[in-house]
Amino acid sequence: MAGLVRMRGRVGRPLLIALTVIVIVGVLGYAYASPYVALERLKRAADSRDVQTVNEYVDYPALRESLKLQVTGLLTRRLDVQHNGNPLAAIGAMIGVALIGPLVDAYATPDGVAALLNGMPPRGEPGERPPAPPAAPADGATAPPPAPGSGSGSGSGAANGQTPPQPPQTTAGYRGVNEFVVSYQHGVGDTRYSAIFRRNGLFMWKLSAVDLNG
C-alpha cells in the first residue's frame, strides 16, 4: 500500500507541474493579448454605440485632458504657421481657444471614440464634431445612399463624385509594459495619429489618450 501511494505521488507530481506550467503560460498569453482584445471590443462597441461597453474601456477624464492638450498644440502650431508675424495672430489664438472646449466635449463621447478608432481624429476646425452613427434601416430595409453634398465629419470624397475615403493603415503594439499604442495613417505622407491605451489592472486596458502628432 505504501508503495502504491509513493507511485501515485511520483506520477501526480509531474502532472501537477505540467498543469501549473500550462496555467502560467495561458495567463501570460492572455495578459499579452489583452490590449488587442480590449481594442477589438471597444471598437465593436463604439461602432454600434454600445455606450455601457464603451464606458468600460475608456478613461474619459484622462482622454479629455489629453484631447485638450493635443488640440491646443494643434491649433498653436497652425496659428504659428498661418500668422507668423501677423498682429491678428492674437485674435486667431483667442478664437482657437474658444474652439477647444466644444471640440473636446464632442470627442470625449462614444461618437468621438468611434471616430478616433476609425481614422477620423479631430482637426481643430470650427464647429467640428465626430460623424453621427448611421441610421439603422427600418424593418430590414436597405439604408438609402447619402444625398449629394452630404458628408460626415471625416470629409467625403463620395459626395463629390470621388472615391470614398479608404480605411486607414493601422499598426498596434506595446510601448512599455503598461502602454499600448494604435497608430493610424491614411496614406504615405499623410499625417499620423495614435490612440493610446493604458493598463488598468492585469488584464484590463482603457483608451486614455491620443497623440495627434502620430
Tell me if 196 sits within 8 A of 179, measured CB to CB.
yes
pTM of the complete model? 0.73
The DSSP annotation for the chain comes to -HHHHHHHHHHHHHHHHHHHHHHHHHHHHHHHHHHHHHHHHHHHHHHTT-HHHHHHTB-HHHHHHHHHHHHHHHHHHHHHHHSTT-TTHHHHHHHHHHHHHHHHHHHSSHHHHHHHTTT------TT--PPPPPPPPGGGPPPPPPPTT---TT--SGGGTSPPPPPPEEEEEESSTTEEEEEEESSTTSPPEEEEEEE-SSS-EEEEEEETT-
88 versus 203: which is more confidently predicted? 203
| 58 φ/ψ angles, rounded to the nearest 5 degrees | -130, 130
Distant-in-sequence, close-in-space partners of 108: CB < 8 Å, separation ≥ 6: 60, 63, 64, 67
C-alpha cell read off for 35: 490590449
Tell me if 184 sits within 8 A of 167, measured CB to CB.
no
Residue 112: per-residue pLDDT: 95
Does residue 147 register a pLDDT over 60? no
Planar angle of CA 62, 107, 176, nearest 5 degrees: 40
Task: Identify the band that residue 123 occupies on the pLDDT scale cut at 50, 70 and 90.
Answer: confident
182 versus 100: which is more confidently predicted? 182
The pLDDT > 90 percentage for the chain reads 41
Measured from the Cβ of residue 34, the count of other Cβ atoms closer than 10 Å reads: 18
Residue 213: per-residue pLDDT: 83
Task: Identify the band that residue 95 occupies on the pLDDT scale cut at 50, 70 and 90.
Answer: low
Task: Identify the band that residue 149 occupies on the pLDDT scale cut at 50, 70 and 90.
Answer: very low
153 versus 92: which is more confidently predicted? 92
108 versus 136: which is more confidently predicted? 108
Does residue 57 register a pLDDT over 80? yes
